[in-house]
Amino acid sequence: MTTKRKFRPVIEETPQSAAPIRGRGASWSPANRFEKLHIDLTDIDCVDVDPASEEKPRRATQYFRDGTKSVITRNNSPDVGFETSLNPYRGCEHGCIYCYARPTHEYLGLSAGLDFESKIMVKMNAPELLRAELESPRWQPQTLVMSGVTDPYQPIERTLRITRRCLEELAKFRSPVAIITKNRLVTRDIDILRDLATCNAVAVNISVTSLDPNLQRVLEPRTSSPQARLEAITQLRHAGIPTGVMVAPIIPGLTDHDVPKILDTCAKAGAQFAGYTVIRLPWAVAPLFEHWLEEHFPDRKEKVLGRIRDLRGNRLNNSQWHTRMTGEGVFAEQIASLFRVGCRHAGIGRRPALSTASFCKSTTQLRLSL
C-alpha cells in the first residue's frame, strides 16, 4: 500500500489560516526550515476546512519506531547543568506551545508545529541500548538526566513503559538519574525511585509553569493539571524521594507574577529544592508562540512579546551561552530576584548533588557471584 502524499508550497499555509485545535498546543504546522516544500503525509493533516469554523478536526497521534543505535546524548553547554541525558521519545504529545525542543523534529523532515506533538518517535529498545552503554568500559559514572529534551512520562508511557524499563536498568547499576516531568505518572515508578534514593542516586523535578488550570489547559494541553503535579510532589516526598520544582519556563507578562506563589505552594506540598528557566523561542517556536498568543491572549500579546525582546537583546530569541536560560537586562534581574526571594521565603534551595559512589556494572556483580 502506498501512502497518499500532498505537496503544498510553503507559502500556502500561514498562521492566519489556523484555528485552535482542541487538545493541541500548536494549531498549525510551520514549514520545515530545511525543506523547500511543505509535505502533508496523511489526509487528516489537510487544512481544507472552513477558516471561519470554531475548531479543526482532532488530529490523532501517530507513533513510529525509532531505530537509533544509542540513547545517551551528550552536550557541552555550560547552561544546562548536566552533560548526559536520556530521552526515550522524540517529539512530545504534551504539546507545550513554548517547548524549545520543537525544532528538533525538523531534522526528521517534519514540522515543529503539529507534527512535533502528534508524530512521536518511540525508542522501543532504549533499555537494552542503555544497559550496553552503562556496561561499556568507556562509560564514566555520572548523573543521567531524563529528560533533557522531551518528557519521559508523556501519555504513551503509560502503555509502553519504556521509561520504567530504563529506570529498572539504572537501578541495577545504581546509576544516578535526575528526572524532569510535567506528568504525575512519575509516581507509578515510586518503587524503583525509592530504591535509587537509598544510595543518593535520584532526584525528581516536577515542572510547574502555572497554578492556573485554565492557563495550563491551553499552554500545556496534555500535561497533568497543576493540582495533580502538587499531589505528585507530596507522594514522592512521602516515599522518601528527593523532590523539587522547576518553575519553567517563566513567561514574562503571563506567568512571572505567579513565581512566589508557585514556590510557596510547591514547598507546602513537599518540594525541597527549585530551579527556573526563562522562555526560549528558537526557530519555528517564535511564530508558533506568537500565533498562540493571538489565539488565546490577544490583549497581552504585545506586552509579552515586548518583555521577551527586552530579555533577549531586542530579539525573540538569543541562543548565546550563559544567558539563554535566564535572559539578560533589567527584567532578567527582576525575575532572578523574584525567584531568589521566593525560594528564601518558601524555605527551599538548590537541588543537591547526586552520588556515583554506589555505581557498579552488572558484569562485575555477575563475576562476584560465581
Cis omega (within 30 of 0) for bond into 147: yes
Domain that holds residue 160: 6-369
Cα 335 from Cα 352, distance rounded (Å): 23
Query: 209 near 220, Cβ under 8 Å?
Result: yes
Using omega within 30 degrees of 0 as the cis cutoff, is the peptide bond preceding 249 cis? Answer: yes
Q: Which residue has the higher pLDDT, 135 or 367?
A: 135
Q: What is the CATH number of the domain that holds 164?
A: 3.80.30.30
pLDDT of residue 27: 84
* β 6-9/243-250 pair status: unpaired
pLDDT in tens, 325-339: 999 999 999 999 999
**Residue holding cell 543518593?**
200
Domain membership of residue 1 (yes or no) is no
How far is 88 from 124, CA to CA, in rounded Å?
A: 8
Nearest to 137, CA basis, from 357, 370, 363? 363
Alpha carbons within 13 A on the beta-carbon side of 14:
5
- Cα dist. 183→18, 63, 122, 187, 339 in Å? 28, 19, 18, 9, 23
| pLDDT grade for 362, boundaries at 50, 70 and 90 | low
The span from the CA of 259 to the CA of 208, in Å, is: 10
Output the pLDDT for position 352. 86
What is the tens place of the pLDDT at every residue in 244-254?
Answer: 999 999 999 99
Q: Is residue 293 part of a domain?
A: yes
Q: What's the pLDDT tens digit per position in 203-238?
A: 999 999 999 999 999 999 999 999 999 999 999 999
Residue 21 lies in a domain: yes
Determine, yes or no, domain membership for 307: yes
If 0-12 CB within 10 Å is exposed, 13-18 middle and 19+ buried, where does residue 302 land? Answer: exposed
Q: Are 284 and 106 in contact (CB under 8 A)?
A: yes
Is 346 a member of any domain? Answer: yes
Number of structural domains the chain divides into: 1
Residue 320 lies in a domain: yes
